[in-house]
């Protein structure tokens, strides 16, 4: 099992005048409903007993960490950067690894702090409602916001640690970045001389089955799933949504733009993620 991406939004509405009038009427109604929607979701959050949260890069953009596929995303602006995140290229190309270490060294992650959105999710844990926080993010901002580490399920790993591709030796990223600063352009493993990589799941790399299983179980056992800041186009993480829906949970999507799964949700909140989360969690 490895990462896959499915793209494409639903087709635009028809252009026939009559159809357009109907579409406008529906849009007006939705607009009216949308105004009260955060209050409605807040009521759902209040009565929910087992909440599972799925987060993607969108929750961290207000902390100054750019996302990948949004309008200002790393891969949208520079498609070549996606090569760095592809395992076979990383392992076979020393020049690419040298560039990757420089990117890591100067990444905005090191100065980023949790924002109001991260803090709102901590309040769910404090209220005893949070059964798992599944995240596609690799920045550990959820843990830094105050979550118990064992509630955070990192489906794509963490960039705050390195792992040796040969022997599995795992260390703090800061330790290895200090070696880069000291002049090692592509620091090898100190145990075996193997290639070091951030402890993240690259494209072409197998996911950790236990971690994915835990994410799916938490989605199947919740009564409310909040999918936040994810385009819901990267699998298997995106499967949390249909799994929760099939198990009878309410599904709420909170994002800055439309997602691939809006049609499955009971409510879709579009806007500033940190503002919206602050409004829907007491
Ligand atoms: Zn090693």
pLDDT band at 15 (very low <50, low <70, confident <90, very high): very low
Look up residue 117 and give its two tokens. 């959105």
- Give the angle 227-230-231 at the CA atoms, nearest 5°: 120
Q: Are residues 151 and 170 in the same domain?
A: no
CA of residue 163 to ligand 1 center, whole Å: 8
Q: What is the CATH number of the domain that holds 142?
A: 3.40.50.1220
Distance CA 57, CA 53 (A): 13
Q: Could you list which residues have their CB under 5 Å from ion ligand 1? A: 164, 166-167, 169, 189, 191-192, 194
Domain boundary among 181, 200, 219: 200
Q: Are residues 47 and 172 in the same domain?
A: no
Residue 19 has pLDDT above 90, yes or no: no
Is 182 part of a structural domain of the chain? yes
Cβ-in-10-Å burial (0-12, 13-18, 19+) of 227 comes to buried
CA of residue 162 to ligand 1 center, whole Å: 11
Sign of CA dihedral 146, 151, 153, 157: positive
Q: Which residues of 112-124 are buried (b: 16+ CB within 10 A; e: fewer)?
A: bebbbbbebbbbb
State residue 168's pLDDT score: 97
State residue 79's pLDDT score: 66
Greater confidence (69 vs 277) lies with 277
CA of residue 177 to ligand 1 center, whole Å: 16
**What is the residue range of 280's domain?**
36-65+114-156+206-282
Is 17 part of a structural domain of the chain? no
**Distance of alpha carbon 3 from the chain centroid:** 13
| Digit-coded pLDDT (tens) for 240-251 | 999 999 999 999
- Give the angle 244-245-249 at the CA atoms, nearest 5°: 70
Q: Are residues 139 and 88 in the same domain?
A: no
CA of residue 12 to ligand 1 center, whole Å: 51
Q: What is the CATH number of the domain that holds 183?
A: 3.30.1600.10
Is 10 part of a structural domain of the chain? no
Nearest Cα residue to 249 out of 215, 225, 269: 225
Q: Are residues 234 and 278 in the same domain?
A: yes
Q: Provide the whole-model pTM.
A: 0.85
Greater confidence (77 vs 22) lies with 77
Domain boundary among 200, 231, 263: 200
Q: Are 230 and 201 in contact (CB under 8 A)?
A: no
Residue 9 has pLDDT above 60, yes or no: no
Q: Are residues 126 and 233 in the same domain?
A: yes
State residue 85's pLDDT score: 83
| Digit-coded pLDDT (tens) for 73-123 | 666 666 667 787 899 999 999 999 999 999 999 999 999 999 999 999 999
Catalytic residues: 156
CA of residue 63 to ligand 1 center, whole Å: 33
Indicate the range of 5-19, 96-110, 166-180, 224-238 predicted with least confidence. 5-19
- Report the percent of the chain where pLDDT is more than 90: 78
């Amino acid at each position: 099992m490895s990462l896959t991406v499915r793209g494409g939004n639903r087709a635009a509405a028809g252009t026939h005048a009559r159809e357009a009038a109907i579409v406008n009427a529906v849009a007006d109604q939705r607009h009216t409903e949308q105004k009260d929607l955060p209050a409605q979701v807040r009521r759902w959050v209040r009565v929910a007993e087992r909440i599972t949260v799925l987060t993607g890069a969108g929750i961290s953009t207000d902390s100054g960490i750019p996302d990948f596929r949004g309008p200002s995303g790393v891969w949208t602006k520079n498609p070549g950067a996606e090569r760095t995140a592809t395992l076979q290229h990383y392992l076979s190309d020393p020049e690419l690894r040298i560039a990757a270490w420089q990117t890591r060294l100067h990444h905005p992650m090191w100065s980023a702090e949790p924002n109001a959105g991260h803090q709102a999710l901590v309040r769910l844990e404090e209220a005893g409602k949070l059964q798992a926080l599944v995240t596609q993010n690799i920045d550990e901002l959820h843990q830094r916001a105050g979550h118990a580490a064992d509630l955070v399920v990192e489906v794509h790993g963490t960039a705050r640690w390195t792992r040796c591709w040969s022997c599995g030796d795992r260390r703090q990223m800061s330790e290895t970045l200090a070696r880069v600063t000291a002049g090692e352009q592509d620091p090898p493993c100190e145990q075996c001389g193997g290639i070091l990589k951030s402890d993240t799941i690259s494209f072409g790399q197998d996911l950790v089955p236990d971690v994915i299983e835990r994410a799916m179980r938490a989605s199947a056992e919740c009564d409310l799933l909040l999918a936040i800041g994810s385009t819901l186009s990267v699998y298997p993480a995106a499967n949390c949504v249909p799994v929760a829906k099939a198990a009878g949970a309410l599904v709420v999507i909170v994002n800055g733009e439309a997602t691939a799964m809006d049609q499955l949700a009971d409510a879709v909140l579009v806007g500033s993620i940190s503002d919206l989360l602050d409004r829907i969690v007491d």
